[in-house]
Amino acid sequence: MSNYNAVIKLEPERPCKKCKGTGTHDHHWHWNAATMTGHHGPGPCDECKATGRIAKPDFDAIFETVTKGKKGVEKRTFRSSKPKFVNEFKNPAEGRAYYVWRMVRFHGGADVTMPVVASMCVSYDPFEPELNKFSEHIAKAAFGTDMAAAYRWANALGHSIPVPANQPATAFACGPVTDGNKPLAEQPELW
């Protein structure tokens, strides 16, 4: 069993990035089912449930979600296919786990297309930098690198950075962009 929560020291909660800690969002959608009309205006923030605060991630639960293991064996391996979620876009815990899973694939070279869909799951999460660092840590352990996408994109954006030979084929400019395990919801990232 992992013990990342004990190792990663963070404050228990941070202000919501959507409402800036107020619990109220200026562009809330109000819908009246009786009149079938709606309008925008101030209202409770749906990201933090009007509390103004978002709790820190459960890194142990995220690790358990993005990895798999055999019963009775402590060693876990990274999941090659997306974990089964109910709705990673509505459930913050699932959204964080999906983001980490996708960013591990991005940093490790399994899928170097821009992780736009996963980024939408943590758009207003104040702990996104720590989630990204966590994914880099897992990528290094699972794939042996956390730099594959960095090499690919740096060179695509006009830099001339030599790619070390120990990087996956996806790190090179003319190499493949994914390992073929791209979820259906992410397919537009290939266009």
Instruction: Check residue 1 and give its pLDDT.
Output: 54
Instruction: Check residue 181 and give its pLDDT.
Output: 84
Nearest residue to 114 via CA among 145, 157, 80, 77: 157
Domain-by-domain residue ranges, the chain? 4-14+57-190, 17-51
SS3 51: coil
Q: Which two tokens stand for residue 110?
A: 């399994």
CB 133 within 8 A of CB 115: no
Q: What is d(CA 123, CA 88) in angstroms, rounded to the nearest whole number? A: 12
What is the reported pTM? 0.89
List the pLDDT tens digit at each of the 191 positions of the chain.
Answer: 578 999 999 999 999 999 999 999 888 777 888 988 888 888 899 899 999 999 999 999 999 999 998 776 778 999 999 999 999 999 999 999 999 999 999 999 999 999 999 999 999 999 999 999 999 999 999 999 999 999 999 998 999 999 999 999 999 988 899 988 888 888 888 87
Residue labelled with tokens 């963070």: 10
What is the dihedral sign for C-alpha 166, 168, 169, 172? Answer: negative
